[in-house]
Structure 1
Amino acid sequence: MIKLATLTFNPFGENTYILFDETKRCAIVDAGCSSDKERQTLVSFIEKNGLTPVVALNTHGHVDHICGVEFVKKRWGIPFALHRNDKPILETAHCYADMGFDIGTIPAVDIDLADTAEIPVGNSTLHIIQTPGHSPGHIVIHAPEAELLLTGDLLFKESIGRTDLPGGSYPALMDSIIEKVIPLGSDTRIFPGHGPQSTIAHEVMFNPFIVEALRGDVNYKACETHEN
């Protein structure tokens, strides 16, 4: 069964996840290590636990989630998986150098998640769910047997991702949450791109954006923009 480890990196406090099973094969999700020290932290964790990375997998292409991807690709010789709709965002990463991100080479995308429903990791399978809104090509990663969901910047504990960046859409984001995430089940644990973990049950009860949508207080489908 899939296990998960969290390493928090870079000036934005981004959660990088390592998913692995009994085979010791692992996926590195949203590699956000942006300095030599952070990269060594990632290497040390991989080596200490005897893991073999097989894929660099991203929920989306914003700079704080991709600044370690090229390092990961070269270090372990693994492919990079990203939805093609986020390629234009990926290519703007150098614009954020003045915010403390050492990008270097923009990583080439090897696996298009627009055409990929599943990613094998050892004996396990990660399910890719299309969830646009925070960005056009945003996806979430579901491990059903472990009842865990990596939500990237779509959904946080008691909050949602911002939609005022290029390609963002509040109606699309809320539709992704209501129609695709909530049906995964109340016991599903969510692990977001920033901040602490939660569960779908907790978010249905205490996330104000979800509560108002489910009660019908806000017709999110009719909203043009939303900022958080």
Structure 2
Amino acid sequence: MIKLATLTFNPFGENTYILFDETRKCVIVDAGCNSDKERQALASFIEKNELQPVLALNTHGHVDHICGVEFVKRKWGVPFALHRNEKPIMEMAHCYADMGFDVDPIPSPDIDLAETQTLSVGNSTLHILQTPGHSPGHVAIHAPEAELLLTGDLLFKESIGRTDLPGGSYPTLMDSIIERVIPLGGNTRIFPGHGAQSTIAHEVMFNPFIVEALRGDVNYKEDTAKHEN
């Protein structure tokens, strides 16, 4: 059974997740460690728990989620998985140096999540959900047996990701949430890229963006069609 640990890093308070199972093999999701102290914190957790990293996996390519990937690849020699549509986003990372980010050269992805539906972690399987909107190649990571979903910057507790950055689209983001996330069921726990965890049931009840979409107060499907045209 998949287990999850959270380490919060960098000036944006980004949640880096470590997924592992009884084999002690692990996937590092959205490595956001941005200083020597933060990189050491990640390495110490891995070593203390006797974990074996097998993959650096990213929900998307914004700087706060990707600034630690080069360290992870260098430290453990693992492949890097990212959706191909995130490459232009990833290449903008250097623009954030004046916001407190120590940005190493970002490595090129080894695995394209546009063509990947599942990934293995030891004896466990992760499902890759295509969830664009916050960014063009954003994905969410679902562990069905553990009923958990890493939502990146798609969905937060009682909020949603911003869509005013390059490649963002509010109607596309809402379509991803309503059509791909909500059907996973109310018991599914969501772990976002920033802030506290929640559940799908809680978000259906209390997330104002989801509530207005489900009520029909916002016709996101119509907006999506306009956006695509």
* TM-score tier (shorter): over 0.9
Give the structure 1 partner of residue 212 of structure 2. Answer: 212
| Paired position in structure 1 for 2:112 | 112
Instruction: Give deviations 1:81-112, integer Å, cap 9, x for gaps.
Output: 00000000001111111111111212111000
**1:167 and 2:172 aligned:** no
TM-score (norm 2): 0.97
SS in 2 for 1:128: strand
Aligned residues: 225
Distance (whole Å) between structure 2 residues aligned to residue 105 and residue 214 of structure 1:
42
Runs (4+) off by over 4 Å: none
Partner of 1:147: 147
Shift in Å, 1:221 = 2.8
Cα shift at 1:167: 0.3
Superposed displacement of residue 189, structure 1? 0.1
Q: How is 1:121-200 mapped onto 2 (pairs within 5 angstroms)?
A: 121-200=121-200
TM-score normalized with structure 1 length: 0.97
Give the root-mean-square deviation of aligned CA atoms: 1.0
How far apart are the structure 2 equivalents of 1:62 and 1:105? 14
d(CA) in 1 for partners of 2:106, 2:6: 24
Aligned to 1:55: 55
Alpha-carbon distance in structure 2 between the residues aligned to 1:200 and 1:147: 10
Secondary structure in 1 aligned to 2:70?
helix
**CA distance in structure 2 between the aligned counterparts of 1:93 and 1:107, rounded to whole angstroms:** 12
Q: Percent identity?
A: 84
The amino acid of 1:181's aligned partner reads V
Distance, in Å, in 2 between the alignment partners of 1:115 and 1:121 is 18
Structure 2 gaps of 5+ residues are none
SS of residue paired to 2:5: strand
Q: Give unpaired runs (5+ residues) of structure 1.
A: none
Whole-angstrom distance in 2 between the partners of 1:84 and 1:55: 17
SS at match of 1:222: helix
- State the 1:17 CA deviation: 0.1
- 1:28 aligned residue: 28
Secondary structure at 1:59 match in 2: coil
- Separation in structure 2 between the aligned mates of residue 7 and residue 147 of structure 1, nearest angstrom: 20
Question: 1:54-90 CA deviation, whole Å, 9 max, x = no partner?
Answer: 0000000000000000000010000000000000000
